[in-house]
Structure 1
Amino acid sequence: MIAVIVMVVALASTLCVLAFRLATYALPFMLALAAARFAYGTGAGWIGAGIVGLTSGAASFGILALLFATLRAPVLRIVMAVIFAAPAAVAGYALVHGVAGEAVPSLVWRHLFCLAGGACTGLAALARLANPP
């Protein structure tokens, strides 16, 4: 019984780390999903929509990272950083809200934890943008 509990905790922790890392790519994923839905709606089929989605997601991340790296004006860099990190922060908020939905009974504390999770995810997205792999 104890082994199962340890495995469940390890699995839940791993899934949270995976979701946290994927949430930093929320904006390119959102753009890729929108492009794939548009392509599918115009008759491209599943394969064509998948290719369009993957291409647009990779291109949007590349363009955003390139713009962030090449822009020298501090105001423009801040604007690009906010454009990239805002969807990641929203995704982090939603992730923590989903995880803490039943675990934290107080509504105030749940929102405080969600705000902290959103802030951490937004800052992680900024760090990944500033130092791409």
Structure 2
Amino acid sequence: MIILGILLCIAAIGILCWLLFTLAIFALPLFAGVTAGTWSLNTGAGWLGAILVGVPAAGLTLGVGQILLGVIRSMWAKIAIALVFVAPAIVAGYHATHGIAKLMMPSETWQIVFSVIGAVAVGVTAFLRIAAMAAGDQSDRGMVQA
């Protein structure tokens, strides 16, 4: 029974890490949606109003980011837009790794070391995914159409 518990813990940590790496590029839209929803809740819109404001705000943030990455030609502007999406992913990666590290080791120094390593790993993964989104389908670019 103990071995089953250990295996389930390892599987749960693996699933959570997979979710973190998969959903890291959505950290900025999530933050924008939660911020807009919280603002509308504090202005008296209620829970339904907060949801009706927050969900479109998150979708709009993601949509505008993808459109800008597809339309803008300048490489520096694309890198700047990608970094705007990567920065919240780095913060989320740091805090997620720090939460796991706090459970696993008592030394605060090693907790921070592993948290920084996790933040870098999540940031690099998010940047690569956003770069892949920006690249899109470029198989026919540079070819003369007949």
Pairwise TM-score range, normalised by the shorter structure:
0.7 to 0.9
Give the aligned length. Answer: 133
* Residue identity in the other structure for 2:81: M
1:52 aligns with 2:53: yes
Tell me by how many angstroms 1:35 deviates. Answer: 0.5
Structure 1 Cα separation of the partners of residues 5 and 100 of structure 2: 20
Residue 25 of structure 2 contacts residue 130 of structure 2 at CA under 8 Å; is this kept in 1?
A: no
Tell me by how many angstroms 1:108 deviates. Answer: 3.4
Q: Gaps (5+ residues) in structure 2?
A: 137-146
1:103 aligns with 2:104: yes
Report the counterpart of residue 140 of structure 2 in structure 1: none
CA RMSD across the alignment: 1.9
Tell me by how many angstroms 1:99 deviates. Answer: 0.4
Report the counterpart of residue 112 of structure 1 in structure 2: 113
Report the counterpart of residue 139 of structure 2 in structure 1: none
1:125 aligns with 2:126: yes
Structure 1 Cα separation of the partners of residues 69 and 113 of structure 2: 30
**4+ residue stretches of structure 1 with deviation over 6 A?**
none
Q: Which of 1 and 2 has greater Rg?
A: 2
Report the counterpart of residue 24 of structure 1 in structure 2: 25
Report the counterpart of residue 82 of structure 2 in structure 1: 81
Tell me by how many angstroms 1:106 deviates. Answer: 3.6
* Residue identity in the other structure for 1:24: I
Q: Deviations over 1:52-78 (max 9, x none)?
A: 111010110110121122221122112
Report the counterpart of residue 68 of structure 1 in structure 2: 69
* Residue identity in the other structure for 2:13: A
Structure 1 Cα separation of the partners of residues 45 and 78 of structure 2: 36
* Residue identity in the other structure for 1:76: A
Q: TM-score, normalised by structure 1?
A: 0.87
Structure 1 Cα separation of the partners of residues 121 and 80 of structure 2: 19
Q: Gaps (5+ residues) in structure 1?
A: none
Q: Which moved more, 1:18-27 or 1:111-120?
A: 18-27
Percent identity of equivalent pairs = 36
